Amino acid sequence: MAFLPFPAPYDFRLSTSRFRAYGPDPATLWQDDPADPGGGALWRVVAGRSVRIVAAPAERGSGVLVEAGSGSGMDAAVAAEVAHLLGAPFDTAGFSAFVAASGDVALRELHGRFSGFRPPLAPGAFEALVTAITAQQVSLFAAFAVRGRFSAAFGHTPDGAAAPGAPPTLRAFPEAEALAGVDPAELLPLGFSGRKAEYVVGVAQALTSGSLGELAALPDAEVKERLVAIRGLGEWTADWFLARHLARPQAWPAGDLVLRKACSRHVAAGRDLTTPEVRALAARFAPFENLTANLLLLGSTLP
């Protein structure tokens, strides 16, 4: 197994908690280890190959071990996608220094409680946008269930020999090219509403046509401008795209209800904040709004 380092402290199990919290996801599948209640593996199809990711033992250093099927080692494509999936772009060391110097009691308490947390990211633009669409105005449990059925129906199985122990339900997240020509009605049995099915197909068409351009090369404001021009994608979706795909440091989804509740609980001592008040909080956490939002959300979902 190849070693992929992450700056210490890094807690693999804590950082992957969202993949266990809301039910199984065939595209990013958690597998518990019966022999080790604190262990487990994260499975993903990367570059067509099944990939198993586990926490590295202490003697190897801070990071993860990666085992890929259909090959003898971890090539550059696998390493790059796994690193992005596990949140490599985030400056967690800079954030730790910011928290320590901030004097913000609530932030320091959460940061200390969840030491080693590095938020995961959606590796692909289509996956990030479908994830956001499925989560619009429903619970995350419902969103995960719909997305799981979507991956099972349209995602392909790994190519060639699988890594040892690969779950048979593992699927690659569907590609935009596979959905661009689909009749939206085909998504209805998976739990999509008619409108969300149309949104998913519309996003696939926008991505495959090249009309969105190279979003990763654009500044935040222009990314949002291009995304909200697509039917079904509003500011909330664009903010989460910036936060959970592009890992933009100052992404701050002020309109997110769960983030508003988290800010009310941890920052305002339980007083219900309005969306404008949450938006105004961004300046307090600059330039680490994205990592702060992820930490606040984690504090509201884990004991």
Predicted local distance difference test score (pLDDT) of residue 72: 54
Total residue length of the chain: 303
Predicted local distance difference test score (pLDDT) of residue 75: 86
- Across the beta sheet with 2-5, the strand order is 2-5, 63-68, 49-55, 36-46, 28-33
Helix (H, G, I), strand (E, B), or coil: what is residue 144? helix
User: pTM of the predicted model, to two decimals?
Assistant: 0.94
Q: Is the pLDDT of residue 163 over 90?
A: no
**118-134 pLDDT, tens digit each:** 999 999 999 999 999 99
> How is the chain split into domains, by residue range?
2-102
**Percentage of the chain lying above the pLDDT 90 cut:** 87
* Helix spans in the chain (H): 12-15, 18-21, 76-85, 92-102, 105-113, 125-134, 140-154, 176-179, 194-209, 220-228, 235-244, 257-266, 275-285, 289-301
Compute the 3-state secondary structure of the chain and give helix, strand, coil in percent, each to the nearest 5: 50, 10, 40
**217-240 pLDDT, tens digit each:** 999 999 999 999 999 999 999 999
The answer to whether the beta carbons of residues 39 and 33 sit under 8 Å apart is yes
**171-229 pLDDT, tens digit each:** 999 999 999 999 999 999 999 999 999 999 999 999 999 878 789 999 999 999 999 99
Predicted local distance difference test score (pLDDT) of residue 130: 97
**17-33 pLDDT, tens digit each:** 999 999 999 999 999 98
**280-294 pLDDT, tens digit each:** 999 999 999 999 999
DSSP letter for 285, please: H
Predicted local distance difference test score (pLDDT) of residue 92: 97
User: In the predicted model, what is the mean pLDDT of the chain?
Assistant: 94
Predicted local distance difference test score (pLDDT) of residue 198: 98
Q: Is the pLDDT of residue 160 over 80?
A: no
Helices vs strands, H then E, count in the chain: 14, 5
